[in-house]
Structure 1
Amino acid sequence: MDQNLERLQKAIANSGYTSRRKAETLIVEGKVKVNGKTVTELGTKVKPEDNIEVEGIPLEKEEPIYLMLYKPRGVISSVKDDRNRKVVTDLLPEIEERIYPIGRLDYDTSGLLLLTNDGDFAQLLMHPKHQIPKVYIAKVEGIPTPMDLKPLKLGINDNGENLKAVKHRILSVDHKKNTAILEITLHEGKNRQIRRMLESIGYPVQKLKRERYGHLNLHGMNPGDFRELSPHEVKQLRGYAQKNVK
Structure 2
Amino acid sequence: MSLHYSTTMQRVQKIIAASGYCSRRKAEKLIAAGKVTVNGQKTLLGDQADPEKDHIMVGSQAIQQEPHLYLVLHKPSGYLTTKSDLWGRRDVMELLKGLPRSVYPVGRLDRDARGLLLFTSDGDFAQKILHPRNKTTKTYQATLNKPLRKDTFEKVKKGVVVERRRVKASLKKNKPKLVELTIHEGRNKVVKKYFKALGYYVKDLKRVAIGNVRLNIPEGRWRYLTAKEKRGLEEHEL
Q: Label 1:192 to 1:130 Cα distance change in 2 as closer, same or farther (>3 A).
A: same
Query: Map of 1:193-212 to 2, 5 A cutoff?
Result: 193-212=190-209
Letter in 1 for 2:170: K
Residue type of the alignment partner of 2:158:
L
Give the TM-score, by structure 1 length. Answer: 0.83
Counterpart contact for 2:160–2:168, Cα < 8 Å: no
Q: Distance in 2 between matches of 1:12 and 1:113?
A: 23
Residues 34 and 154 from structure 1, CA distance in 2 versus in 1: closer, same or farther, beyond 3 angstroms? Answer: farther
**3-state DSSP class of the match of 2:133?**
helix
Q: Find the partner of 1:94 among 90, 94, 98.
A: 98
Pair 1:59-2:63 in alignment? yes
Distance 2:187 2:167 in 1: 10
**Offset of 1:56 from its aligned partner?**
4.5
For residue 171 of structure 2, the aligned residue among 168, 171, 174 is 168
Q: Residues 141, 9 of structure 1: CA spacing in aligned structure 2 closer, same or farther, 3 A cutoff?
A: same
Q: Which residue of 2 aligns with 1:124?
A: 128
Matched, 1:241 2:237: yes
Q: State the secondary structure of the residue aligned to 1:108.
A: coil
Distance of 1:148 and 1:158 partners within structure 2: 15
Q: 1:228 aligns with which of 216, 224, 237?
A: 224
Cα distance, 1:63 vs. partner?
A: 0.9
Residue 177 (structure 1) aligns with: none
Cα 1:147/1:122, change in 2 over 3 Å: same
Q: Tell me, which stretches of 5 or more residues in structure 2 are unaligned? A: none
1:184 aligns to what? 181
2:210 to 204, 209, 213: 213
Per the alignment, residue 50 of structure 2 pairs with 47
Cα RMSD, aligned residues only: 2.3
Q: CA deviation at 1:120?
A: 2.0
Q: Distance in 1 between matches of 2:158 and 2:27?
A: 36
Structure 1: runs of 5+ lacking an equivalent: 174-179
Identity value in percent: 36
TM-score by length of 2: 0.86
